[in-house]
Amino acid sequence: MANFLKKLLLLTVSEQEKKILVALQTSEITSRRVVGRGTLTVDAIEVTRTRKFKEYADQASLIVNNSR
């Protein structure tokens, strides 16, 4: 029954909402919590330890260093 409801719900969401759902489901972040209507919170320390964050931080450093 739960699977049926999930599939039914997915029929009513937009493509953008589906992309967001997939991103949340595949995220490395486990500290995310819903605290209000449409509001998510995460632990900043956990975010800064992810592989993706480290890649983006390295790219930003390169951009800043190359612009000097």
Domain ranges for the chain, please list them.
2-66
User: What pLDDT score was predicted for residue 7?
Assistant: 65
User: What pLDDT score was predicted for residue 58?
Assistant: 96
DSSP classification of residue 40: E
Residues 6+ apart with CB under 8 A from 46: 29, 30, 31
User: What pLDDT score was predicted for residue 60?
Assistant: 96
Higher per-residue pLDDT: 13 or 43: 43
Q: pLDDT per residue over 20-61, tens digit each? A: 888 888 888 889 898 888 888 999 999 999 999 999 999 999
List, in sequence order, every residue forming a beta bridge with 41; answer none if it has no partner: 33
User: What pLDDT score was predicted for residue 2?
Assistant: 67
Cα dist from 2 to 7, 9, 26, 65, whole Å? 9, 11, 20, 51
Q: What are phi and psi of 36, to 5 degrees?
A: -170, -175
pTM of the model as a whole: 0.58
